[in-house]
Chain A
């Protein structure tokens, strides 16, 4: 019997730890004891929550229908369309030549943003996984295998496939 129950509870540390701390430890270790788990999740993220997460890099978004988003950075505002989201949370946006040119200028003016955004081959890439508030939970989202994004006015809906390998 390989279980570790109360029979050896004296080896447990702080008595204030709860079952949640066990799950958190497991998560930080990469979920070694739930290998093979498969989860599908549909997660609606309101515009408000998204802006809350993005505020550390001073970017704001307004979410519209049909995968369209309005992105703002200080005085700049531009429309874009979400083309896709990769499992490492890179959001690929299709946008106008004007915006891409503007973005190039913004990235040159504010090099710190280059860690979070890039413009290449006619697309704009937002590295959401590198945003501090999101990166903090990499131990959780590293198990994503597929991400599909769609929008409704005011909210982004993510369909997530998770596989703990």
Chain B
């Protein structure tokens, strides 16, 4: 049942994307989300990691991967209304 539900949701999502969300015309979402910095950093780490690992079958000259491999540290923190990005790049 779970797998069937997942397949349904997946095909529904694919159809929505294919039709540029036309069936959701009028959708509006607004709000305030307090993000903890460790969550942002975790998401950022995963994002950079996925960028630096091209999927199988995708052509890539490897330049992005090679550049991202130079990033030794990338973290964000918030202080008095300012978001600070701490990073370290090294060869």
Chain A residues within 8 Å of B, Cβ to Cβ: 1-7, 9, 12, 15-19, 21-23, 26, 33-44, 46, 48-49, 52-53, 56, 132-133, 136-137, 157, 162
Contacts and interface: CB of A to CB of B under 8 A. Distances in A.
Interface residues of B, number: 46
A43 B29 CA distance: 8
Contacts of A137: 9
Given A33-B35, A34-B34, A35-B34, A6 B27 contact: no
A111 B16 CA distance: 34
A63 B21 CA distance: 20
Contacts of B8: 52-53, 56, 133
A22 B9 contact: no
A2 B5 contact: no
A125 B49 CA distance: 47
Interface of B: 1-2, 4-6, 8-9, 12, 23-50, 53, 55, 71-77, 86
A52 B9 CA distance: 10
A22 B31 contact: no
A17 B44 CA distance: 12
A34 B34 CA distance: 5
Contact of A18 (B4, B25, B46, B77): B46
A37 B73 contact: no
A133 B9 contact: yes
A50 B69 CA distance: 46
12 contacts: A2-B37, A3-B37, A5-B44, A5-B75, A12-B46, A19-B43, A35-B34, A39-B32, A44-B25, A44-B26, A49-B12, A52-B12
